[in-house]
Amino acid sequence: MRKAGSYIRNGMQNEFVAFGALCYAGFMTEGSVSTAQGDQAATRPDDAGGPRLPLTQRVAGAIRDMIVQDQLKPGERIRERALSEVLKVSRTPLREALKLLSAEGLVEILPHRGAVVANPEPQEIYGKLQVLGVLESLAGELAAVQATDEEISEVRALHFEMLASYTRKNRLEYFKANQKIHRAILSCSRNEALIETHSRINAQLYRVRYQSNLRNRKWQSAIEEHEDILHALEARDSGRLSALLRAHLGSTWAKVSEMLGVSGSE
């Protein structure tokens, strides 16, 4: 029953995800949510063979998108009744969705004061990037050994996609391709817990990284690092791939901290 090697193939439109849909593969895709404008995925009735995801998870997805898209801003309080009216669902599934997002770290639930959008301080962001660094490092270590040749080819293809987006100066596509590459490497690790944990932390950083990508002048600097990463993967150089991935997160912090105006980058 293991769907081991299929992550890249079906990775985009994953069906049911039991442990909360942490996958942002389809984030801000064309026909996406746009929850604030009245039409919302959370309440669509029967889309063509529509995925029968539990309403709670669809609501969670809608809120996730609203957070990442800054329709819900960090620190902002989420009022249950108001949001349930906007999303056109009752409070019950909405509250369950908020519980999910709380466990994912995207919102914080204060007793009797409701949920607020997580607003991590620079130091916390740095900490999360550190964790992400060791996780990707482990993933690289495993991927270099266990990846199939097809998977490595797919990573290279994604790399070219990213180059295409870079050439077109399309930051959004560039960012998405960048994320895809890292997810692809993670999936090569064959370690579900690793993939899931990485997705969780990554989700907590998604918004700030997206903002950083939009604003940073050196937004393309990851290209060279990705070249090295790709070479290490193709050479199946476990140690080098591991080290490069961890260092990669270091330069991510450099860019993020610049945007945040942090003085000492520790």
Partner DNA sequence: TGTGGAAAAATGGCATACAATTTTCGATAG
Partner DNA sequence: CTATCGAAAATTGTATGCCATTTTTCCACA
Binding positions for its own copies, rule: CB under 8 A = 16, 18-20, 29-31, 52-54, 56, 92, 95-96, 99-100, 102-105, 108-111, 124, 127-128, 130-131, 134-135, 137-138, 142, 190-194, 196-197, 200-201, 204
Burial readout 10-42 (b: 16 or more C-beta within 10 A, e: otherwise): ebeeeeeeeebbbbbebbeeeeebbbeeeebbb
Q: Is 77 in the site for DNA (CB under 7 A)?
A: yes
CA distance 54 to 42: 10
The nearest distance, CB 178 to DNA, in angstroms, is 33
Give the x-and-dash track for 29-68 against DNA (CB under 7 A): ----------------x----x-x-xxx------------
Q: Could you tell me the two tokens for 63?
A: 């809120």
Nearer to DNA, 58 or 207 (CB): 58
Q: Is 73 in the site for DNA (CB under 7 A)?
A: no
CA distances from 28 to 9, 25, 67 (A): 19, 9, 12
Task: List the single partner that 19 binds among DNA, its own copies, none, CB under 5 to 8 Å by kind.
Answer: its own copies
CA distance 174 to 117: 26
The nearest distance, CB 19 to DNA, in angstroms, is 13
CA distances from 208 to 61, 66, 74, 127 (A): 18, 14, 10, 14
Identity of the residue numbered 23:
C
The nearest distance, CB 115 to DNA, in angstroms, is 7
CA of residue 37 relative to chain centroid, distance: 24
What single string gives the DSSP state of each residue in 68-115? HTTSS-TT-EE-HHHHHHHHT--HHHHHHHHHHHHHHTSEEEETTTEE
The nearest distance, CB 53 to its own copies, in angstroms, is 7
Footprint of DNA on 189-218 (CB under 7 A):
none
CA distance 251 to 182: 15
The nearest distance, CB 4 to DNA, in angstroms, is 10
Listed in sequence order, the residues at least 6 apart from 172 whose beta carbon sits closer than 8 Å to its beta carbon are: 28
For DNA, which residue of 9, 44, 73, 81 counts as binding (CB under 7 A)?
Answer: 81
Phi and psi of 46, rounded to 5°?
-125, 80
CA distance 194 to 81: 36
Task: List the single partner that 170 binds among its own copies, DNA, none, CB under 5 to 8 Å by kind.
Answer: none
Task: List the single partner that 209 binds among DNA, its own copies, none, CB under 5 to 8 Å by kind.
Answer: none
Give the x-and-dash track for 103-132 against DNA (CB under 7 A): ------xxxxxxx-----------------
Task: List the single partner that 197 binds among DNA, its own copies, none, CB under 5 to 8 Å by kind.
Answer: its own copies
Binding site for DNA (CB under 7 A): 45, 50, 52, 54-56, 77-82, 89-93, 95-96, 109-115
